[in-house]
Amino acid sequence: MLLSELAYQKIDRELAKFPADQRRSAIMAALAIAQQEKGWVSPEIMADVARHIGVEAIAVQEVATFYNMFNLKPVGRVTITVCTNLPCALRDGVKAGEYLKEKLGIDYGETTADGQFSLLMGECMGSCGDSPVMLLNNQHMCVHMQPERIDAVLEELKKHGESA
């Protein structure tokens, strides 16, 4: 068992939402649960999720590699995903990303030396009018992220960890 008992219970609750012959439908939710617990989905975690759901490992791998919300390598305690799609890019999304790169001393796809932050490029987050947009740990959306707001978010995250 690679995940906690609580994680398997959560996956079982997701499985219960679907008919027995459609267990594949719970793959995305199961991967999200695993990633929330482990921070990323390793090949071993994918295989374990597949075993638990009762599907072939390739079915889980296909989902994990298709969607960019799944981390396929270790990441920092906090992932910061910057929307770089055209509407955000035209409204300072590129500038916000460049500012974060400079501030954190890393590029997209990298993690700070202390393991606290990873910076990722993201696709449309559905909040174009609020750009630039950042997503923290695939769960908390931050909007209108001008440099002063980015500084405030980073300070809060440094002070209080990922719960900010």
pLDDT tens per residue across span 69-108: 899 999 999 999 999 899 888 899 899 999 999 999 999 9
Answer yes or no: do 123 and 85 share one domain: yes
- Residue (of 71, 137, 68, 59) closest to 49 by Cα position: 59
Tell me if 72 is assigned to some domain: no
Answer yes or no: do 158 and 82 share one domain: yes
Tell me which of 5-14, 44-53, 63-72 is least confident: 63-72
Answer yes or no: do 96 and 143 share one domain: yes
Asked if 82 contacts 142 with a C-beta cutoff of 8 angstroms, the reply is no
Task: Output the pTM of the full model.
Answer: 0.81
Question: Cβ atoms within 10 A of the Cβ of 164, count?
Answer: 15
Please report the pLDDT score of residue 148 as a whole number.
95
Question: How far, in Å, CA of 111 to CA of 160, rounded?
Answer: 19
Looking up residue 19, the CATH number of its domain turns out to be 1.10.10.1590
164 pLDDT tier (thresholds 50, 70, 90): very low
Looking up residue 99, the CATH number of its domain turns out to be 3.40.30.10
Please report the pLDDT score of residue 68 as a whole number.
82
Tell me if 73 is assigned to some domain: no
Burial 79-99 (b: 16+ CB within 10 A, else e): bbbbbbbeebbebbbeebbeb
Mean pLDDT of the chain: 93
Enclosing domain of residue 42: 5-66
Structurally, how many domains does the chain consist of? 2
Question: How far, in Å, CA of 24 to CA of 60, rounded?
Answer: 8
Question: How far, in Å, CA of 44 to CA of 11, rounded?
Answer: 17
